[in-house]
Amino acid sequence: MTDAVLVLEDGRTFPGQAYGATGRTLGEIVFNTGMTGYQETLTDPSYHRQVVVMTAPHIGNTGVNDEDPESSRIWVAGYVVRDPARRSSSWRARRTLDDELVAQGIVGISGVDTRALTRHLRERGVMRAGIFSGDALHGTDDERRHGDDLLAEVLAAPAMAGADLAGEVSTDEAYVVEALGPDGTPLDAPVATVAAVDLGIKAMTPQRLAERGVRVHVLPATATIDDVLATSPDGVFFSNGPGDPSAATHEVELLRDVLDRQIPFFGICYGNQLLGRALGYGTYKLGYGHRGVNQPVVDRATGKVEITAHNHGFAVDAPLDGESVAPHDGGRYGRVVVSHVDLNDDVVEGLRALDLPAFSVQYHPEAAAGPHDAAYLFDRFVALMTGADDPTTKGAA
């Protein structure tokens, strides 16, 4: 086995063995608590420039298939696991996870005490880190490099705070996902048309809309309001994505153009943070974020608790109780309520404008790897666009 080492920016190191490609990789180190869905995690563009630690000890059991990726490539900067599967065991598998990481040049490390590492990150907060193996660890003369040299490389890596990354993961060209009927065949007349701005969109998101009879025009992150209006949208959607929402000035201005025109809006994850900023609220960096498929969130409209999929390191700073007036431009966007709250730590998990047709959630209702408790939000968006009664709040107090 090839030696590898994980170096954190606070100087702590974790030895292990190379997993996937050998070499060097740098990024913000975060942990994911999901027991399933490692393939969806790896291909989620929101993990761009992040080294992902899997808290589940056994990774790679079901190999890699060609149906489950959320995008066309692996986006994580590096991968940290405890016990990689020695062989894959699934009739759907086409290759092993190790082989896929090698093929895509993803530097990883195995044999790490991920429980101790996760506890460290929970106590100290996410930070920059590097994985080093092969020549990046030993040099061309096979002499192991000094730890101070490796730490210096980690400290020279850019931080996530202030990073504007959506443009690095977005589609280059617009494309269309056609509306589907109940039998899965394309509809000639869609229920609605949505302009979806790709800030790191996952493949399942437009699919969930298409399943509800919606035609989806997926637009690049550089889209202008003219590009959006050219699709004749009944609604606008902002996707998940990586980076610091405080750096996304173009996207916030685009969203304000949408809100000014009273076009129904739905945003998830990064889209939720951008709605918060467009309304004039602040955003802040969480200590270690929410990443996994097991976060309990209460929908205040119904009182129901959902188990939800998350991947975010930033959150919206808005009043949790009662209505507040959106601070932007003297309150021109009217009243807003926090619609969803995380039951673990009271983080804002959703916003709903009371005087505009706009709402958002911080989590991932498309949740290809599960759970599917929040799939109703797509029905709520369709109802907002079509003027129908919201079927998801019937019987709510």
Whether 308 and 344 have beta carbons less than 8 Å apart is answered as no
Catalytically active residues are 269, 364, 366
Whether 279 and 336 have beta carbons less than 8 Å apart is answered as yes
- 36: helix, strand or coil: coil
Q: Per the annotation, where are the binding residues?
A: 46, 241, 243, 273, 311, 313-314
Where are the alpha helices (H) located in the chain, listed in sequence order?
A: 38-42, 97-103, 114-124, 135-138, 147-155, 166-169, 204-210, 225-229, 249-260, 270-279, 376-386
Cα–Cα–Cα angle for 31, 208, 226, rounded to 5 degrees: 95
* Closest C-alpha to 101, from 197, 25, 178: 25
**What would the two tokens of residue 213 be?**
């009879």
Distance of CA 177 to the CA centre of its chain: 20
Cα–Cα–Cα angle for 208, 212, 215, rounded to 5 degrees: 85
Question: What DSSP assignment string belongs to 154-200?
Answer: HHTSPPSTT---HHHHS-SS-EEE--B-TTSSBPSS-SEEEEEE-SS
Q: Per the annotation, where are the binding residues for L-glutamine?
A: 46, 241, 243, 273, 311, 313-314
Cβ of 113: how many Cβ atoms within 10 Å? 13
Instruction: Give CA–CA dist 310/316, Å, rounded.
Output: 14
Cβ of 332: how many Cβ atoms within 10 Å? 15
Instruction: Give CA–CA dist 254/332, Å, rounded.
Output: 16
**What would the two tokens of residue 155 be?**
């400290």
Instruction: Give CA–CA dist 352/264, Å, rounded.
Output: 12
Whether 186 and 176 have beta carbons less than 8 Å apart is answered as no
Whether 360 and 267 have beta carbons less than 8 Å apart is answered as yes
